[in-house]
Amino acid sequence: MSRRHFLRAAGGLAAGAALPAAAQSNRILPVQDIAPLIARITGGRPVEKRDVTVELPSLAENGNSVPLRIRVASPMSATDLVTDLHVFAERNPRPFVAAYHFGPVVARAQVDTRIRLAVEQRVLVIAALTGGRFLSGETHVVVTSAACIDEGI
């Protein structure tokens, strides 16, 4: 093989490998069905899509540590309060991220933490309120450097 041929072939390979990195990772980690996980929390009761704010950077540089703030518009009075928060990332290898259960001392329906995100995806939060009510909120995040997909899944 001549040097020219080799370079042409190598260049083509490199371009092919570099181009669809994001598209590839989305193909490796498809959306997982989190409906059974949600059903286990809600017991089939309806979930209203309101009042839950999921604050995430719209573009996360490092998927290994993405700051997350969850806020629920709730008076947190004795009769009307948020009792639980459940966090799901449906394109992570394991969609369950975390769950928080509030006792009576908790003053605000707010939690700050840092999470892992495998790829660009939707982060969903389900909030359980007193009286068997459920609210949800979600945010879409773009992840440039993904977590946990260096392994060929």
Partner 1 sequence: MALARLQVSPSVRAGEAVEVRLLVQHPMETGFRRESDGRAVPMNVVNSLVCRLGAVEVLRAEFGSGVSANPYLSFWIVPPASGELVVEWVDDAGVKGRVAATIAVT
Under the rule (CB under 8 A), what is the footprint of partner 1? 64-66, 87, 89, 92-108, 110-117, 148-151, 153
Q: State which residue, 49 or 101, has the beta carbon closest to partner 1.
A: 101
Give the shortest CB-122-to-partner 1 separation in angstroms: 13
In whole angstroms, give the CA distance from residue 146 to residue 129. 33
In whole angstroms, give the CA distance from residue 147 to residue 63. 5
- CA torsion sign for 32, 35, 36, 40 is positive
26, 91 in Cβ contact below 8 A? yes
Phi/psi at 84 (5° precision): -145, 150
Q: State which residue, 3 or 114, has the beta carbon closest to partner 1.
A: 114
Give the shortest CB-35-to-partner 1 separation in angstroms: 17
57, 67 in Cβ contact below 8 A? yes
Give the shortest CB-112-to-partner 1 separation in angstroms: 4
Q: State which residue, 116 or 128, has the beta carbon closest to partner 1.
A: 116
Q: State which residue, 26 or 100, has the beta carbon closest to partner 1.
A: 100
